Amino acid sequence: MLFLGRVSFSFYALHWPVMLLLLSLMQVHFAPEFLDNHAFLKGILLFFASVGVALPASALTEKFIEKPFNSFGHILSKRILLDRNSK
């Protein structure tokens, strides 16, 4: 649960683009005539594939983008607050 809490913003931001990309790939490349006739199967496959791709991508995004920028923001805000308090 803690992991999901940490990556929730990245997952939220990445899930729809990943899902739409996978949906377009499924409709063009992966047996489109079969999937069009089986909408429930298509939805289940799309759900598991999009979560399976978006979850690792959001973990990487959280590690390499969110954490460094959050740390930089904290350092910057402390510096600004210290400059204001010293005047």
Average pLDDT by consecutive 10-residue portion of the chain (87 residues)? 86 93 87 82 91 94 91 86 72
The pLDDT, as a whole number, for residue 15 is 93
Using an 8 Å Cβ cutoff, are 26 and 73 in contact? no
Q: How far is it, in rounded angstroms, from Cα 87 to Cα 56?
A: 46
The pLDDT, as a whole number, for residue 87 is 62
Whether the pTM exceeds 0.85: the reply is: no
The pLDDT, as a whole number, for residue 16 is 93
The pLDDT, as a whole number, for residue 80 is 82
Q: How far is it, in rounded angstroms, from Cα 23 to Cα 8?
A: 22
| Domain boundaries defined on the chain | 2-86
The pLDDT, as a whole number, for residue 52 is 95
